[in-house]
């Protein structure tokens, strides 16, 4: 799989995930600087891997999922980036986002390594979406081919509708 940033190929570190895989373990940091272990995140989950909340595409992506969140009862939405927790808190407050939880991979990049989303050249996460069911199985995995493009929202929503309705 070739992923590009502004048309130039980039290198991803870690293991690419596929539908049917088990979601690997990782540790992130919440906005209060507390560790969040993947084993403590349960239920139907959507992980949005993002380069940075302070970019136009990431901003719109998280806001789009936030708007849809009220229709997705029982689904937990997580936006993961290497942004510092302070920046994530600031962004959420400014954007009015409270239905998508932001988590940072800045400490050890374990999410990026575990999900194959860590961009070697940029030290950012590539744009990807993982839908994980209550059994910790990945039921949807999308690595967006061009980082500056949006994910396939309709495909994600369709998969979530199959899981929760």
DSSP of 85-96 = HHHHHHHHHHHT
Contacts of residue 131, Cβ cutoff 8 Å, sequence gap at least 6: 44, 45, 46, 138, 139, 140, 141, 156, 159, 160, 163
Buried b (16+ CB within 10 A) or exposed e, 62-73: bebbbebbeebe
- Do strands 100-104 and 75-81 pair parallel, antiparallel, or not at all (unpaired)? parallel
Q: Which of the residues 12, 17, 49, 58 is marked catalytic?
A: 58
Active site residue 92: no
For tokens 């081919």, name the residue: 145
Residue 126 CA to residue 13 CA, distance in Å, equals: 10
- Active-site amino acid positions: 58
């Amino acid at each position: 799989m070739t992923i590009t940033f502004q048309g130039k190929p980039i290198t991803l570190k870690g293991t690419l995930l596929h539908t049917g895989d088990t979601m690997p373990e990782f540790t992130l940091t919440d906005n209060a600087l507390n560790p969040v272990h993947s084993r403590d995140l349960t239920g139907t989950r959507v992980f949005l891997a993002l380069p940075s909340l302070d970019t136009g595409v990431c901003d719109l992506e998280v806001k789009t999922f936030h708007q849809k969140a009220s229709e997705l009862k029982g689904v937990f939405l997580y936006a993961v980036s290497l942004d510092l927790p302070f920046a994530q808190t600031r962004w959420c407050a400014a954007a009015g986002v409270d239905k998508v939880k932001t988590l940072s991979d800045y400490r050890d990049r374990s999410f990026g390594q575990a999900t194959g989303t860590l961009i070697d050249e940029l030290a950012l996460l590539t744009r990807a979406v993982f839908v994980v069911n209550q059994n910790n199985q990945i039921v949807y995995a999308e690595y967006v081919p061009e980082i500056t493009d949006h994910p396939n929202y309709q495909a994600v929503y369709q998969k979530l509708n199959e899981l929760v309705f």
